[in-house]
Amino acid sequence: MPIDTRRNQGPENTVQYHLFLKKNEKTYGEFLKDLIDSRNVRKDSRQLAENRKVFIKTSVLSQAKGSAYIEVGKTKVICSAYDPREIPNHSEFILNGELYCEFKYATFAQKKHRGFIRDSEEKELSVCLKRALEPAVCRHEFPNFQVDVYALVLEDDGSVLAAAITCASLALADASIPMYDLVTAQSLGIHGNYLFMDPTNEEESLCTLTPEGDCKNHGAVVVSYATQLQQVTQFKQVGVMDPECIIEATSQLTENCSELYQLAQHCLAQAVIKMTKKKHQISDLGKSFENVKIQNG
């Protein structure tokens, strides 16, 4: 792939600093014991079925039509949505509008340095983001146009795709894009008989390993869910799992998505109340100026 000469790539002989750090090689048992104890309490004092604390805020970018910011533990994602525009390089008429989604890691989001150009993983996550949001957007309202959605991961501590889907849905709603319903997403890590709800980065690394014992289920499941429509808009599975394990994981994830949906609704309601108060203040200020002009005139 050619180098982008418009950006400062730095010297070619640089070496990443983490290669010089001392590596503490842990066995499988030590790694598992470090993440979860005998009482099934995780490293961050959570139960297996417990989510991390979530912070959501809308209208964080002034340049975008709509935007949202989400924190799930240490995972931080910011999303922006823009007004519908004509589909570039397309001459035929399209009855349903298009949704363009771009998922990108910031260069400082992970220990591994990310380039400015999207790699194959980021392109795959962009497709997952688009599939999750498309069923909830009224695309027939803007034929022959497309809506651009951008998701930027500022810090990755696990469950980034689920956080990006929820944040992008709020950004679309903040941009006043017509939607059938909000979309929320949750992630579940599976390692043997352990089901890690909202896994961290270390727990996701554990779920990629084949567990010791009879149960060989391992991997991760991400479900995006439209609560009012009661529809799963996107399902992503990585790893090896039994059908019974997938059914149990899906039921847990949809239930947690419904709980997160209430928080997203509350965030949008507070944003609408704040905007309404601001409009009333501007209107009252305008009326007071008119009264002053009449009195002086």
- Give me the pLDDT at residue 289, please: 64
User: How many structural domains does the chain have?
Assistant: 1
The answer to the question of residue 207 being in a domain is yes
The answer to the question of residue 91 being in a domain is yes
Buried b (16+ CB within 10 A) or exposed e, 105-122: beeebeeeebeeebeeeb
First and final CA of the chain: distance in angstroms? 70
The answer to the question of residue 16 being in a domain is no
Domain that holds residue 102: 41-296
Contact 182, 170 (CB under 8 A): yes
- Give me the pLDDT at residue 11, please: 60
The answer to the question of residue 191 being in a domain is yes
The answer to the question of residue 145 being in a domain is yes
- Give me the pLDDT at residue 149, please: 95
Q: Given 3-state DSSP classes, what are the helix, strand and coil percentages for the chain, each rounded to the nearest 5?
A: 35, 25, 40
Nearest to 95 by CA among 153, 61, 144: 144
What rounded mean pLDDT belongs to the chain?
85
Contact 181, 170 (CB under 8 A): no
The answer to the question of residue 18 being in a domain is no
* CATH code where residue 277 lies: 3.30.230.70
228 CB contacts (<8 Å, ≥6 apart)?
180, 181, 182
Instruction: Convert the pLDDT of each residue in 32-57 to its tens digit.
Output: 788 888 788 888 888 888 899 999 99
For the whole prediction, is pTM greater than 0.75? yes
**Has residue 286 got a pLDDT over 90?**
no
The answer to the question of residue 190 being in a domain is yes
The answer to the question of residue 4 being in a domain is no
Higher pLDDT, 6 or 188: 188
Q: How confident is the model at residue 172 (pLDDT cuts 50, 70, 90)?
A: very high
